[in-house]
Amino acid sequence: MSGHNRWSKIKHQKAASDAKKSKGWTKLIKEITVAARGGGDPNGNPRLRNAMDKARDANIPNDTIDRAIKKGTGELGGEAMEELVYQAYGPGGVAIIIELATDNRNRTAGELRKILERGNAKIDSSGSVLHKFKRRGQIIFEAAQASEDAVTEIALELGADDVRAEGEVLVVLTEPGSLYVVREGFVKKGLKPVDAEVLMIPELTVQVAAKDSETLGKLIATLEEHDDVTNVYANYESAEDAGA
């Protein structure tokens, strides 16, 4: 699919998932808890700062954010949250990465296996799925905010890897460890992104038939609705996307 279609699809999936606000809040709070394991001070923990910003944008109360941080640092009791990554192959041989945060590994594993089986997908234990993706920082700006040349000039100055025009947005790619530094650099220049996060981006995509694309879309939507799932990535494009 073209870059514009890729971003539109991602944005649509996020909107569909975030529409379920109770689940959206649950995921954001979990992200704060997991991020806080790297330190409870957002000034020294860029991932935590980013998670807190997203939570505030979603109008999550400050006391709820504070409790999530304390849970992550161990100041509050309760089951420890752990991050897991599942690899799977779906219809048409599509590679799928499922990232999650859970306080009950066995329960989550059983539920995910059932979802994958119903979606005609299966767990890959060989580790081959991860090799089809690369972890990158991705910062999104609305194209109306600034010209591609202006964004590119700032991106180069801040040490970003690449800038791509994708329809109505400009995408800045960075090394994962540089994402938050580059994001803050843009904000100081007066350009606040609409989204900034570390993603698993497919190195190559595979084209699938319309039937498989529909099945995959339903599978990914179901996975994203699961409370413990934080991100889902897949390396496919439908024939309709490819022709757009």
Total number of domains in the chain = 3
User: Which helix H or strand E contains 163, and what residues bound it?
Assistant: strand 162-166
Q: Are both 211 and 225 inside the same structural domain?
A: yes
Q: Where a domain ends, among 56, 73, 90?
A: 73
Domain of 40, in residue numbers: 3-73
Give the global pTM: 0.79
What pLDDT, in 10s, does the model give residues 192-214? 998 888 889 999 999 999 889 99
Contact criterion met (CB below 8 Å) for 88 and 129 = yes
Digit-coded pLDDT (tens) for 101-147: 998 999 999 999 999 999 999 999 888 999 999 999 999 999 998 99
Q: What pLDDT is stored for residue 241 in this prediction?
A: 57
- Interval 134-165: pLDDT, tens: 999 999 999 998 999 999 999 999 999 999 99
Torsion sign (Cα): 84, 40, 19, 237:
negative
Instruction: Decide the pairing of beta strands 133-142 and 82-89.
Output: unpaired
Please report, for the domain that includes residue 215, its CATH number: 3.30.70.980
Judgement on whether residues 225 and 109 belong to the same structural domain of the protein: yes
Residues 69 and 98 in one domain: no
- My answer on whether 112 and 125 are in the same domain is yes
Give the per-residue pLDDT at 57.
84
Q: Residue 199 in contact with residue 138, Cβ under 8 Å?
A: yes
Question: Do 212 and 229 fall into the same domain?
Answer: yes
Residue 110 in 3-state DSSP? helix
